[in-house]
Amino acid sequence: MIAEWLTRWLSLGLGLASLTREKADELAQELVRRGQMSREEAREMVDRLLKQADQQREEMRRAVQQQLQRVMETAGVARREELEALRARVAELERRLGVTPPADSPGDGEGVPPAGGGTPPEGEQAPGASEG
């Protein structure tokens, strides 16, 4: 049947993922105009093609997301959850040591605080500072 041929052609050639309702309607109207299918068959074909297009777009989105995750893992890029966990650990260590985080420390989750910043407890000297 024409609808099956068209579906296969779109799947192999253009790719259903790029199919829009407008384009599917145009194709269906042309087939109806030529007398190759009824309006009802055309409507069913359009619905079926658009459903398949949505499925292909979702599969493509998942594949891209998985590949991006692999690339980031390979490159050693930390995930947001890992950075947030590290920030929480640093904050807890600062609290235990009585160290005040530097004033320019990002408290809104933007970026990572600079290493070695912060104020030591009163009466103590910052590491690497010389008495003078």
Domain residue spans in the chain? Answer: 2-75
Residue 111 has pLDDT above 60, yes or no: no
More confident: 14 or 93: 93
Helical segments of the chain, H only: 2-12, 21-33, 39-75, 80-97
Give the per-residue pLDDT at 67: 93
Model confidence at 132, pLDDT cuts 50, 70, 90, reads: very low
Model confidence at 52, pLDDT cuts 50, 70, 90, reads: confident
